[in-house]
């Protein structure tokens, strides 16, 4: 129910913010009892209803991305092209809902919402790297996601204020940051080459994350 409602809530949030009014409007559009919709978005573990809606919106974009750009579709691309395609798809899903994005960024920036916002960025980055074919099992698994998550978050902030034609400023910002990722990965590969013969806690955790087939 959350994933079905989330895109419609985002549409309404452009005018009403991430509020009960936006939720009620989305429920009416979808044909779901508003009381059931409000119950579905009750905050859990101290999370606000607004953050529950924003989390669901991110989840709906994750799902749409996985359906539109499965791993086999991206296989013929270079890594840089895969990441660019995945982030661009997400931005296209948000396009036209910049007011909702601005309201979401303001909500996520509240001190008590920062932990949830950080998890959202990590989850989105993880989804993108997995679709891009990443199977890193050592510390690279974590550094790649941390870096991409921060870049994605920064790109959203630029997009929220981008008034250029066809979001040219956002696209240029993203291209520069992805170039930075690729340069960093190449440099890291040259200077950090952990031996497969030595025991590594991060490699062990990675293997638990990606069991051998």
**Residue 45, number of CB atoms within 10 A of its CB:** 5
Q: Is the dihedral of CA 200, 201, 207, 209 positive or negative?
A: negative
pLDDT over 70 at 73, yes or no: yes
Dihedral (Cα; 30, 32, 34, 38), 10-degree rounding: -90
pLDDT over 60 at 192, yes or no: no
Q: Which residue has the tokens 């669901």?
A: 56
Q: Is 140 exposed, middle or buried (0-12, 13-18, 19+ CB in 10 A)?
A: buried
pLDDT over 90 at 59, yes or no: yes
Length of the chain: 213
Q: What is the pLDDT of residues 106-147, one digit of tens each?
A: 999 999 999 999 999 999 999 999 999 988 878 888 888 999
At 175, list the tokens: 């291209």
DSSP string of 157-168?
HHHHT--SGGGH
Pick the residue with more confidence: 213 or 149?
149
pLDDT over 80 at 25, yes or no: yes
Lowest mean pLDDT among 23-27, 40-44, 127-131, 161-165: 40-44
Contact assessment for residue 6 and residue 56, using Cβ atoms and an 8 Å cutoff = yes
Q: In whole angstroms, give the CA distance from residue 90 to residue 191.
A: 33
Average pLDDT over residues 166-194: 76
- Whether the full predicted model's pTM is greater than 0.75, yes or no, is yes
Q: In whole angstroms, give the CA distance from residue 24 to residue 39.
A: 11
Contact assessment for residue 31 and residue 24, using Cβ atoms and an 8 Å cutoff = no
- The per-residue pLDDT of the chain, averaged, comes to 86
pLDDT over 80 at 43, yes or no: no
Q: Is the dihedral of CA 116, 118, 121, 123 positive or negative?
A: negative
Average pLDDT over residues 31-51: 86
Contact assessment for residue 102 and residue 54, using Cβ atoms and an 8 Å cutoff = no
Q: Which residue has the tokens 């509020």?
A: 19
Average pLDDT over residues 68-93: 92
pLDDT over 50 at 197, yes or no: no
Taken in order of first residue, the domains within the chain and their CATH numbers are: 2-191+201-209 (1.10.357.10)
Return phi, psi of residue 103, to 5°.
-65, -35
At 49, list the tokens: 């209803």
């Amino acid at each position: 129910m959350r994933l079905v409602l989330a895109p419609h809530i985002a549409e309404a949030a452009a005018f009403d913010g991430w509020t009960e009014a936006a939720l009620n409007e989305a429920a009416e559009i979808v044909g779901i009892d508003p009381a059931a919709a409000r119950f579905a978005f009750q905050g859990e573990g101290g999370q606000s209803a607004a953050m529950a809606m924003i989390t669901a919106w991110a989840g709906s974009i994750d799902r749409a991305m996985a359906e539109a750009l499965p791993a086999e579709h991206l296989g013929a691309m270079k890594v840089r092209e895969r990441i660019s395609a995945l982030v661009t798809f997400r931005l296209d899903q948000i396009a036209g809902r910049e007011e909702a994005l601005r309201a979401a960024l303001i909500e996520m920036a509240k001190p008590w919402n920062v932990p949830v916002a950080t998890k959202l960025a990590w989850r989105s980055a993880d989804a993108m790297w997995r679709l891009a074919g990443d199977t890193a099992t050592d510390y690279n698994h974590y550094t790649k996601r941390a870096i991409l998550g921060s870049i994605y978050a920064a790109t959203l902030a630029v997009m929220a204020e981008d008034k250029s034609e066809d979001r040219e400023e956002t696209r240029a910002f993203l291209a520069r940051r992805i170039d930075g990722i690729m340069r960093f990965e190449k440099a890291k590969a040259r200077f950090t080459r952990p031996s497969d013969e030595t025991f590594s806690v991060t490699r062990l955790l990675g293997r638990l994350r990606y069991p051998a087939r």
